[in-house]
């Protein structure tokens, strides 16, 4: 009975140290006697956080009409923004950057009109989408009407000065977390 408990304990130790991608280790264990495997011979899960990793995230404060770029918990940059108008409020919540586009093509979700990149394009120089919907997407973009920055005028998107959205584009990647607060 004691030997069975000892063997069972050893199997539990071995199995608890198998990494999430364990296909190669299963072949190794099935082709040999698993009981003879020593736990130190198997790779262990990382139990610490890599403190050298640069973590960037964005916080939008609708009331302040600003977006804050955080890097490792410190504000790196902040930019003025325009937000969604009444009835089209920029939605609160947690998101991630889904895709990014330089010199985007605008397609009006109401009329289907297409506007190529240039001075008449309401998306400006850059587009950083964080919410993908069935009819339209929401994100940060430039504008051809800078006079509206600081106001609630969009259909939910976050408008920025073109120079600011270009700078923001260089600071984020697909997957960057975005939090929209009141």
CA proximity to 154, closest of 78, 101, 79, 91: 91
- Cα 150 to Cα 174: distance, rounded to the nearest angstrom: 26
- Cα 133 to Cα 114: distance, rounded to the nearest angstrom: 18
C-alpha distances in Å from residue 127, one per residue of 27, 43, 93, 138, 147: 47, 42, 19, 9, 19
- Helix locations, the chain, DSSP H: 2-16, 23-30, 162-171
174 CA to centre of own chain: 6
CA proximity to 73, closest of 93, 97, 49: 49
Residues annotated catalytic, as ranges = 141, 157
Helix (H, G, I), strand (E, B) or coil at 139: strand
139: its two tokens: 């994100």
């Amino acid at each position: 009975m004691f030997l069975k408990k000892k063997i069972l304990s050893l199997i539990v130790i071995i199995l608890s140290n198998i990494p999430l991608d364990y296909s190669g280790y299963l072949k190794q264990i099935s082709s040999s006697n698993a009981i003879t495997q020593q736990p130190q011979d198997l790779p262990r899960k990382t139990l610490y956080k890599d403190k050298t990793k640069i973590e960037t995230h964005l916080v939008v404060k609708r009331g302040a009409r600003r977006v804050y770029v955080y890097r490792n918990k410190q504000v790196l940059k902040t930019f003025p923004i325009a937000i969604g108008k009444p009835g089209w409020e920029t939605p609160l919540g947690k998101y991630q950057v889904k895709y990014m586009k330089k010199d985007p093509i605008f397609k009006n979700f109401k009329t289907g009109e297409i506007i190529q990149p240039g001075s008449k394009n309401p998306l400006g120089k850059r587009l950083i989408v964080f919410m993908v919907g069935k009819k339209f997407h929401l994100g940060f973009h430039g504008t051809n009407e800078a006079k509206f920055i600081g106001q609630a005028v969009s259909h939910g998107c976050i408008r920025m000065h073109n120079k600011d959205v270009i700078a923001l584009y260089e600071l984020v990647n697909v997957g960057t977390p975005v939090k929209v607060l009141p």
